[in-house]
């Protein structure tokens, strides 16, 4: 069974949600994506002093890991609006993955009579990220998915096994998706063109035996 979770439960017109996150002063999740942007803007306009004392809004923070090399410490992300105290990058990622995991788990247990025995998360990452950046993302995501274990225990359901988070590069993930229903022969080559918001990445892949 496949469950789609777009913008963490919020109605959207575009399935690609911007990297925007709104937390309260206790680092608890409030909103993500376009919903976070709109809510932060509205709350700030209505009562800026109250907003700046109780919330922190982050935007575009995923790009912080692009700068991270093996020798760099974990980035501390400054809020775009609201409280001024910086937050470790891994905290933001963990909060997001907690919400994704909980919403997906809720959808699965609501619509399926079969207990969930295992959970696997595949998260494509930019090919330019360093091993240290990948590891930071993986650790934060795995901590976020641990929320499923707590949810299962609280609901009195079977506690599933959470497999290690898989982090293929974005071009690798695109090739796997493209060839899922369109088999290719050994020796064939595929070109992936990723025209992003600020970059254009092109990669070629040759189908081998391994």
Residues 190-194 have a mean pLDDT of: 86
Q: How confident is the model at residue 1, as a pLDDT? A: 44
- Tell me how far CA of residue 121 lies from CA of 5, 45, 164, 170, in angstroms: 13, 38, 8, 14
Q: For residue 29, which of 103, 120, 84, 85 has the smallest C-alpha distance?
A: 103
Pairing of strands 118-119, 161-162: parallel
- Chain segment 109-123, per-residue pLDDT in tens: 887 778 888 988 888
Q: How confident is the model at residue 7, as a pLDDT? A: 54
- Look up the pTM and report it: 0.81
Q: pLDDT at residue 199 above 80?
A: no
Q: Which tokens go with 185? A: 């022969």
Q: Are 167 and 125 in contact (CB under 8 A)?
A: yes
If you average pLDDT over every residue of the chain, what do you get? 85
Q: pLDDT at residue 209 above 70?
A: no
Task: Provide the terminal-to-terminal Cα distance of the chain, rounded to the nearest Å.
Answer: 28
Give the integer Cα–Cα distance in Å for 9 and 113. 22
Please report, for the chain, the start and end positions of each structural domain, with discontinuous segments joined by +.
7-162, 170-206
- 91 Ramachandran zone, left/alpha/beta (phi>0; psi -120 to 50): alpha
**Residues 29, 33, 37, 38, Cα dihedral to 10°:** -100
- Chain segment 61-91, per-residue pLDDT in tens: 887 887 777 677 888 999 999 998 889 999 9
- Chain segment 2-54, per-residue pLDDT in tens: 555 555 656 555 567 788 999 999 999 999 988 999 999 999 999 999 999 99
């Amino acid at each position: 069974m496949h469950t789609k979770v777009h913008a963490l439960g919020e109605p959207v017109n575009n399935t690609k949600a911007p990297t925007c996150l709104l937390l309260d002063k206790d680092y608890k999740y409030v909103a993500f994506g376009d919903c976070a942007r709109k809510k932060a803007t509205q709350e700030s306009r209505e009562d800026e002093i109250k907003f700046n004392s109780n919330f922190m809004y982050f935007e575009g923070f995923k790009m912080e890991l692009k700068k991270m090399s093996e020798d760099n410490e974990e980035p501390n992300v400054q809020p775009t609006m609201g409280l001024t105290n910086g937050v470790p990058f891994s905290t933001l990622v963990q909060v997001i993955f907690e919400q994704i995991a909980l919403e997906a788990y809720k959808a699965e247990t609501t619509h399926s009579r079969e207990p969930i025995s295992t959970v696997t998360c595949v998260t494509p990452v930019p090919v330019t990220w360093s091993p240290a950046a990948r590891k930071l993302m993986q650790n934060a995501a795995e901590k976020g998915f641990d929320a499923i274990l707590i949810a299962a225990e609280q609901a009195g359901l079977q506690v599933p096994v959470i497999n290690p988070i898989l982090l293929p590069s974005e071009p690798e993930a695109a090739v796997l998706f493209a060839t899922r229903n369109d088999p290719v022969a050994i020796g064939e080559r595929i070109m992936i063109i990723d025209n992003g918001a600020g970059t254009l990445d092109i990669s070629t892949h040759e189908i081998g035996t391994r």
